[in-house]
Structure 1
Amino acid sequence: MPRFPHLLRLPPKLRRRARRQRMATLLALLALVGLLFVPFYIIYKPPRPLISYFVSRWPDVLWRVDLPVLVTSGDPSERPAQRKLVALTIDDAPSEHTRGILEVLRQYDAHATFFVIGGQVPGRQSVLREALALGGHELANHGMHDEPARSLADGALQAQIAEVDAMLQQVYDSVREGRHGGATNTELAQTKPPRYYRPGSGFFSDRMRTLVAQLGYKLVLGGVYPHDAQINYPWLNARHILSMLKPGAIVICHDRRSWTAPMLRKMLPAAIKQGYQFVTVTELLKAGKEGD
Structure 2
Amino acid sequence: MFRFRPGSRRGTAVALLAATSLMLTLGGCGVDRVTPRDARGKARTDDKGGTGTRRVDCAKVKCIALTFDAGPGKDTPRLLDILKEKRVPATFFLLGRNHVDRYPRVVKRIADEGHEVANHTWSHRILTDLDEAGIREELSLTQTAVERITGHRPTLMRPPQGRTDDTVSEISKELGLAQILWSVTAKDYSTTDSALIRQRVLEQAQADGIILLHDIYDGTVPAVPSIIDELTRRGFTFVTVPELLAPGKAEPGAVYGPEKD
TM-score, normalized by the shorter chain, greater than 0.5: yes
Query: Among 221, 237, 246, which residue is 1:277 paired with?
Result: 237
Once the two structures are superposed, what CA deviation does each residue of 1:28-86 show, in whole Å capped at 9, x if it has no partner? xxxxxxxxxxxxxx96997xxx99xx79x633x45644567xxxxxxxxxxxx831111
Determine which structure has the larger helix proportion and give its number.
1
SS of equivalent to 1:143:
coil
Q: Distance in 1 between matches of 2:218 and 2:166?
A: 35
- What's the CA shift for 1:247? 1.7
In 2, Cα distance between equivalents of 1:239 and 1:108: 20
* Equivalent position amino acid for 2:127 in 1: A
Counterpart code for 2:95: I
| Counterpart Cα distance in 1 of 2:171 and 2:36 | 22
Structure 1 runs of 4+ aligned residues shifted over 4 Å read 42-46, 62-68
Corresponding residue to 2:161 among 201, 204, 207: 201
Q: Give 2:81's aligned residue.
A: 103
| CA-CA distance at 1:149 after TM superposition | 2.7
Unmatched tracts of structure 2, length 5 or more? 1-19, 42-58, 250-261
Are the aligned partners of 2:128 and 2:168 in contact in 1 as well (CA < 8 Å)?
yes
Structure 1: distance between partners of 2:172 and 2:225: 34
Question: Which residue type is aligned with residue 168 of structure 1?
Answer: V
Note the alpha carbon deviations across 1:119-146, whole angstroms, 9 max, x for none: 012231111111121x320111111113
Q: How many residues align?
A: 210
What TM-score, normalized by structure 1, do the two folds share? 0.64
Q: Which of residues 124, 128, 133 is equivalent to 2:103?
A: 124
Residue in structure 2 matched with residue 139 of structure 1 by the alignment: 117
Say whether the 8 Å CA contact 1:150–1:204 is kept in structure 2. Answer: yes
Q: Pick the aligned partner of 2:200 from 219, 240, 257.
A: 240
Does the Cα contact within 8 Å between 1:96 and 1:256 map onto a contact in 2? yes
Structure-1 residue corresponding to 2:128: 150
1:54-93 alignment to 2 at 5 Å? 58-59=31-32, 61=33, 64-65=36-37, 82-93=60-71
TM-score by length of 2: 0.71
Residue 62 of structure 1 contacts residue 220 of structure 1 at CA under 8 Å; is this kept in 2?
no
Q: How big is the alpha-carbon RMSD for the aligned residues of Structure 1 and Structure 2?
A: 2.7
Give structure 1 stretches of 5+ with no counterpart: 1-41, 69-80, 174-191
Distance, in Å, in 1 between the alignment partners of 2:178 and 2:31 is 12
Partners of 2:62 and 2:207 within 8 A in 1: yes
Give the match's secondary structure for 2:118.
Answer: strand
Identify which of 101, 112, 123 aligns with 2:90.
112
In the alignment, is residue 259 of structure 1 matched against residue 229 of structure 2? no
CA contact (8 A) 1:62 1:219 kept: no
Counterpart contact for 2:119–2:143, Cα < 8 Å: yes
- In 1, Cα distance between equivalents of 2:213 and 2:160: 13
SS at match of 2:64: strand
Task: Write the distance in 2 (CA, Å) between the matches of 1:210 and 1:89.
Answer: 24
1:10: which partner in 2?
A: none
1:243 is aligned with what amino acid? E
Superposition deviation, residue 151 in structure 1: 1.4
Find the residue that maps to 1:261 and give its secondary structure. Answer: helix
SS at match of 2:141: helix
